[in-house]
Chain A
Amino acid sequence: GESVGLHLPTLSVQEGDNSIINCAYSNSASDYFIWYKQESGKGPQFIIDIRSNMDKRQGQRVTVLLNKTVKHLSLQIAATQPGDSAVYFCAETPHTGANSKLTFGKGITLSVRP
């Protein structure tokens, strides 16, 4: 079936370095992609989103890149900070209007070394 998955289960980076978290999706009908951050004991929180008519979108210290040709999504975090340590999920919805399911990948843990 259609699924959203992540390449790596864990990522360890040095404080101040840039982080890149990758995600592959299989549903070619996917129209909207979102990255969520989940801190321990909390629900997922929105970071940034991108629609299928875009290749890149920038936020504060974060950039999302979308490559529809290879069905790949990435989240780049600039100057990673200890507060960025969390589990990151990519999610997607197909363009099917009101009945769109929001499907999540398995998640990747980002650990920031001081």
Chain B
Amino acid sequence: NAGVTQTPKFQVLKTGQSMTLQCAQDMNHNSMYWYRQDPGMGLRLIYYSASEGTTDKGEVPNGYNVSRLNKREFSLRLESAAPSQTSVYFCASVWTANTEAFFGQGTRLTVV
């Protein structure tokens, strides 16, 4: 099992460009999450999907959109990248609430 797979691992964007971060899990988990991690800020929730077909905003959703394409895949889109979105992005999945979350290896995004 691969667990949670994120692509790409690294990305550099120019201000105003768009891109989609991909996340896929092969554990048949119901819920998926997108976090960003900045120095001294810990992990902040951007969006989450409690189940296939549903998405909800987290703590810092502005500037992002998400799509729960199917049970396996949860993508994060930046429509117009800004330098403030420079961060490391992590995708996570859980089977159900109150169970262990599994994380991907992260995507390091730099917006110049």
Contact = CB atoms under 8 A, between A and B. Distances in A.
B107 to A, nearest CB: 10
Interface string A46-66: 100101000000000000000
B33 A102 contact: yes
User: For chain A, which range describes its interface: under 10, 10 to 19, 20 to 34, or 35 or more residues?
Assistant: 20 to 34
Q: Among the interface residues A32, A43, A91, which one has the most CB atoms of the partner chain B within 10 A? A: A43
24 contacts: A9-B40, A31-B98, A32-B97, A42-B106, A43-B103, A43-B105, A43-B106, A44-B43, A46-B100, A46-B101, A46-B102, A49-B100, A95-B97, A98-B31, A98-B97, A100-B97, A101-B58, A102-B48, A102-B94, A104-B42, A104-B43, A104-B45, A106-B40, A106-B41
A6 to B, nearest CB: 8
Interface of B: 4, 30-31, 33, 35, 40-45, 48, 50-51, 56, 58-59, 90, 92, 94, 96-98, 100-106
